[in-house]
Amino acid sequence: MITFKQKVYKVASEIPKGRVATYGQLAKLAGNPKAARAVGMLMAKNPDRNIVPCHRVVSSKGELTGYSYGEGVKTKREILLKEGVIFAGDRVNLLISQWKQK
């Protein structure tokens, strides 16, 4: 049986470059729409950022929250900009850059 953790990592691994998903969006896609905080904890404990691009997960308002790699949120922003994610000030423009799973 596949666990919630495995589902979250699987769905997160599908977020393409240039797009982001919210913690709540991942929780819903993994089968537990009320588990956004749990998704955040899983992203913080992500064992391999090359397989699970946790930098592509943001708050429901497009804010960049914690990031364990490099210089934290600064590094997260730099990576997202390089990947083509569009910002409006300090937040990701979710109208443009939010991933729409097909």
- Active-site residue numbers? 54
The DSSP element (H or E) to which 42 belongs, if any, is helix 36-44
Q: What is the dihedral of CA 62, 65, 68, 71, to 10 degrees?
A: 90
User: 67-71 contacts: CB < 8 A, separation 24 or more?
Assistant: 68/44
Task: Copy the structure tokens of residue 51.
Answer: 């397989």
SS3 call for 32: coil
